Amino acid sequence: QVQLVQSGAEVKKPGASVKVSCKTSGYIFTGFFTHWVRQAPGRGPEWLGWVNPKSGDIKYVPKFQGRVTLTWDTSISTAYMELSRLTFDDTAVYYCARDRDDTLDFWGQGTLVTVAS
């Protein structure tokens, strides 16, 4: 069955970086885009970007360009999201999700990133 399993919660100080992993299974990793979405407390989801592991294409939301880095390791079917220069506003649950025909059909369980001094 399709599964996306993310790394555990993180607590970071302002200015630091965080890297979240998303290990996929149950499908061909290179056959689907992987998206990253975050959700701040009490807010709706906010799309961060996507990767196409087959073509190597990556797309970032302009707002996060320069601070977000999306990578992947095809050999272990895992995607990564790194966010740098963290601020308190980056406190959120970060999700990875599989894209099937422009629909995010399967999601990871989420990774809580807390930015605190």
- The residue ranges that bind other proteins (CB under 8 A) are 35, 37, 43-47, 49-50, 59, 61, 95, 101-110
The least CB distance from residue 75 to other proteins, in Å, is 26
Of the pair 23, 110, the CB lying nearest other proteins is at: 110
Min dist CB 43 to other proteins, Å, is 7
CB of 45 to other proteins, least distance (A): 4
Q: Please, which contacts does 75-80 make with residues 24 or more away whose CB atoms are closer than 8 Å?
A: 76/23, 77/23, 77/24, 77/25, 77/29, 78/21, 78/22, 78/23, 78/24, 78/29, 79/21, 79/22, 79/24, 79/34, 79/36, 79/51, 79/53, 80/19, 80/20, 80/21, 80/22
In angstroms, what is the minimal distance from the CB of 11 to other proteins?
18
The smaller minimum CB distance to other proteins, of residues 15 and 57, is found at: 57
51 sits in which H/E element: strand 45-51
In this complex, which beta carbon is closest to other proteins, that of residue 13 or of residue 102?
102
Amino acid at 41: P
Which CB sits closer to other proteins, 89 or 102?
Answer: 102
